[in-house]
Structure 1
């Protein structure tokens, strides 16, 4: 027994040296890939993980002059105020969930449908033209998108009101009607993002085995049948992964476009967590309250993405982890 122990102890340094040399060799082989990865690593380390230190502010009565550490510790005070004592919490939660849910229901399938239709086009030139036109709005800033939406929906000379005016319909004040805000937001989001999302699904469709289409054509399957039974099932893993990510961001409805489009007349359906945080938390200097809202939003999103991943793994055996 003693001899075996001694032999293990003697061989251990050599094993460690072997592992180190192997790790160093792998590092040298992949040094250029690691160099390409470095900017992304620095970005997330500085702008994503570094600021997480500020979560402490949610549990303190933060004072700018005292700093984070010297500010008084108040525990869950601001979480209780926001969730249980804030009369606007129910409205904010409803608006945030509905806008995110409508965007998911109508916006998520749109690039899938467009990708399947483009995949069936035989004209390569027309296919590339549609792709280019459809994903151009993705590169336009939200400020410009919001300005275009306001111009198109203007009651005076907006394009949409001019079109319905030809049919004798009175001009509609779209941006002054709270019941129309969610429709405007979701529709503009689909227009802005459908082309960019299509790129992912078109890339996934290239991985589908062409022999499946040939076999289906020999069996007399129509193009609709091939799309439904071959193309769509072939991209299901990608659909599931993106669906999980979208569910995780259900409460993370974008601040910029909502802030640029809403107004006091549409607060009842347009005011969401992020805009409320900016207006009440940051504009009034209540940083602890604003941070507590952000932490609550992040925790809910985390549990939603974990739950969606669990359900996907149990039902489709496809998940993020």
Structure 2
């Protein structure tokens, strides 16, 4: 049963199978909160995969809660439930947990807390952020360089800080590569509603968008269907969608949020938990952040994107994460 520490929930590796330096980790208990379903094919699943990777690599015991509505009071209640079992670390997956984690961490000063994709800190609270804006900027460049109509789109659901930063990076990437391109941007209010995402994507395609960057979770399927129907291409995020739907996706702004859970757990196990800090993971860690590009993308476009990736990874170019402008409204 998720949320409780029991035999089924904790299948730690045998101590003998672990490196000597990590054998003590078998006693660590990690509890995670997912404000969504862990099989959503997107952000929540990436986080869950990171949790399971921490379990198998580090020998920690894991428990989790999923499907909690992204409302502060419900998130706080779920975090209190997890913290009440006194794990060594509670991980709240996603920036929508910022306020709730800040509140609950103060109530449980003897428990360590982490928010992934967060920006909050405290005496027992840290944030670990995978910089999806790095790969989103590259996605914008690719869209700007390959659009045939001069119109590209962006779609997301909930307005959380990482999503806003990713949107801004994408739009700035488009403008960097193609200053005359028009960008349609929409936050529909729901990451998982396929009927809604299909309607939004179809409306963007009707407005001549031929490439759409989707920052969605389970609702991505609706956008994929709209792209198939409207002969448009898509750029995904979180995972490599060019391998999943190669006829639709020309690229994917890979940003493995699960790496944040793995890194946070590893820091705890190795005695370097970063309370009071925000740890960032960007293009310098390609296992966590990169732009994957389909073989159909022209070599000259790929070269330009890769050159910018090197500049960002070396921190010689700072990705802009601010944007203001008119938004594309949900269709009636």
Larger radius of gyration: 1
What's the TM-score, normalizing by structure 1?
A: 0.26
Task: Tell me the TM-score normalized by structure 2.
Answer: 0.26
User: Higher helix fraction: Structure 1 or Structure 2?
Assistant: 1
